[in-house]
Amino acid sequence: MGSLASYYQARPGSVLEVDRAFYDRLASESPGREPVERFEVPIRSGYAWEVPAGHLCRIITTAAGPQCGDFNVWNRHNPRERLWTSRTRQLQGTHVTRYDRLWSTLPYLRPLLTITNDTLEGYGTDEDGGRVHDLLGSRCDPYINRILTGEDADVHCHSNLTRAVLPYGLTELDVHDVLNIFTVTGINEDGEYFMKPSPARPGDFFEFFAEQDLLCAMSTCPAGDLSVPMWGPDARDPIEVCRPLEVEILRPDPALVTDWTPPQTAQYAGMHGLDFPERGTDTRHRR
Identify which of 285, 252, 286 has the alpha carbon closest to the alpha carbon of residue 25: 252
Q: If you count them, how many residues does the chain have?
A: 287
> What's residue 1's pLDDT?
60
Q: How many CB atoms lie within 10 A of CB 170?
A: 20
pLDDT bin (cut points 50, 70, 90) of residue 187 is very high
**pLDDT tens digits, one per residue of 32-72:** 899 999 999 999 999 999 999 999 999 999 999 999 999 99
162 contacts 172 by C-beta, under 8 angstroms: yes
Quick one: which H or E segment has residue 111?
Answer: strand 111-118
In whole angstroms, give the CA distance from residue 205 to residue 193.
Answer: 25
Rounded to 5°, the CA angle 84-116-200 comes to 85
> What's residue 151's pLDDT?
87
For 156-182, what is the mean pLDDT?
Answer: 97
pLDDT above 70: percentage of residues in the chain: 97
Strand partners, 74: 82, 215
> What's residue 154's pLDDT?
84
Q: Does pLDDT of 285 surpass 60?
A: no
In whole angstroms, give the CA distance from residue 113 to residue 85.
Answer: 13
**pLDDT tens digits, one per residue of 66-111:** 999 999 999 999 999 999 999 999 999 999 999 999 999 999 999 9
Rounded to 5°, the CA angle 100-106-110 comes to 35
